[in-house]
Amino acid sequence: QVQLQESGPRLVKPSETMSLTCTVSGGSITSSYWSWIRQSPGKGLEWIAHLYHNGVTKYNPSFESRVTISVDTSKIHFSLRMNSVTAADTAVYYCARHVWPPAGAFHIWGQGAEVTVSS
Amino acid sequence: EIVLTQSPGTLSLSPGERAILSCRASQSVTSGHVAWYQQKPGQAPRLLIYGASNRAPGIPDRFSGIGSGTDFTLTISRMEPEDFAVYYCQQQGGSPELTFGPGTKVDLK
């Protein structure tokens, strides 16, 4: 059974770059779509970006100018990099695997990484 | 952008009662790809329904979804104690491609 786990620094300074990694256990990134989603009290749940298992990506226009997602060659990690962070980026960040065959829904979620942007 | 509106904001029920949650889209979700999630405090959302009416694996049959176009509904036929939570709808279509509603909290009357 596929499980996901987010990892990375939980405290990031304003204007710096936030980096998170999602590790896949019980499977690999060889099919389906994989997303980053965040949740904050002010904005609720927001989809950030997804990548297809072949590395093709799609971004939410609200984040596109400062976000990069990628999958590594091991096919068991994919990452999120967000630059120029501000306090508004304080949120719980989730990685998720989409339903397959594609139906635009997030089937498997990580437990979430609570990231605070503060000096 | 397809904006999702959920109603009511809060629903107060007793165990055994039926819950009817509404999700309305600002424009037609032509893909038919509407999903529903349950979230409890400190946990990630859990997928209940996808494709408007398909139950995710392991989801009890007291959860059902229906809808098309701009109006979608999640029904919980008989509330169990573990069903008190926040419920979100989510759609695929437009730009951004994937958006969520603000949620409906179902709490104990």
Q: Does A54 have pLDDT greater than 90?
A: no
Q: Does A102 have pLDDT greater than 90?
A: no
E-assigned strand segments in chain A: 3-7, 11-12, 18-25, 33-40, 44-52, 57-59, 67-71, 77-82, 91-98, 106-109, 113-117
- The closest CB to that of A109, out of B44, B90, B97, belongs to B44
A84: number of CA atoms within 13 Å, CB side? 6
Rounded to the nearest angstrom, the minimum Cα separation between B35 and chain A is 6
Per-residue confidence (pLDDT) for residue A77, from 0 to 100: 96
What the block records as the tokens of B11 is: 């629903």
Q: Quick one: average pLDDT of A98-108?
A: 91
Q: Which residue has the higher pLDDT, B30 or A80?
A: A80
Instruction: Tell me the pLDDT band of B34, cut-offs 50, 70 and 90.
Output: very high
What the block records as the tokens of A42 is: 């002010």
User: B56 near B47, Cβ under 8 Å?
Assistant: yes
Chain B residues near residue A107 by CB distance under 8 angstroms = 47, 50, 56
What the block records as the tokens of A35 is: 């997303």
Cβ distance of A47 and B102 shorter than 8 Å: no
Per-residue confidence (pLDDT) for residue A103, from 0 to 100: 86
Instruction: Tell me the pLDDT band of A96, cut-offs 50, 70 and 90.
Output: very high
Instruction: Tell me the pLDDT band of B95, cut-offs 50, 70 and 90.
Output: confident
Instruction: Tell me the pLDDT band of A115, cut-offs 50, 70 and 90.
Output: very high
3 state DSSP class of B14: coil
Q: What span, in angstroms and rounded, lies between the C-alpha atoms of B23 and B87?
A: 10
Cβ distance of A103 and B47 shorter than 8 Å: no
Cβ distance of A105 and B35 shorter than 8 Å: yes
Instruction: Tell me the pLDDT band of B94, cut-offs 50, 70 and 90.
Output: confident
User: B49 near B37, Cβ under 8 Å?
Assistant: no
Q: What is the mean pLDDT of chain B?
A: 97
Cβ distance of A104 and B33 shorter than 8 Å: yes
**Which of B40, B107, B98 is closest to A112 using CA atoms?**
B40
Q: Quick one: average pLDDT of A93-118?
A: 95
Q: Does A100 have pLDDT greater than 90?
A: no
User: A107 near A3, Cβ under 8 Å?
Assistant: no
Per-residue confidence (pLDDT) for residue B70, from 0 to 100: 97
Instruction: Tell me the pLDDT band of B24, cut-offs 50, 70 and 90.
Output: very high
Q: Does A53 have pLDDT greater than 90?
A: no
Per-residue confidence (pLDDT) for residue A55, from 0 to 100: 86
What the block records as the tokens of A3 is: 């499980």
Cβ distance of A105 and B88 shorter than 8 Å: no
**Which of A101, A69, A77 is closest to A28 using CA atoms?**
A77
Contact of B46 with chain A, judged by CB distance below 8 Å, is answered with: yes
- The closest CB to that of B98, out of A47, A110, A111, belongs to A47
**Which of A111, A23, A37 is closest to B40 using CA atoms?**
A111
Per-residue confidence (pLDDT) for residue B101, from 0 to 100: 98
In 10 A of CB A96, how many CB atoms?
Answer: 22
Per-residue confidence (pLDDT) for residue B107, from 0 to 100: 96
Chain A residues near residue B44 by CB distance under 8 angstroms = 94, 109-112
Chain A residues near residue B102 by CB distance under 8 angstroms = 44
Q: What is the tens place of the pLDDT at every residue in B59-73? A: 999 999 999 999 999
Chain A residues near residue B56 by CB distance under 8 angstroms = 99, 105, 107
Contact of B103 with chain A, judged by CB distance below 8 Å, is answered with: yes
Q: Quick one: average pLDDT of B61-89?
A: 98
Chain A residues near residue B93 by CB distance under 8 angstroms = 104
User: A82 near A90, Cβ under 8 Å?
Assistant: no
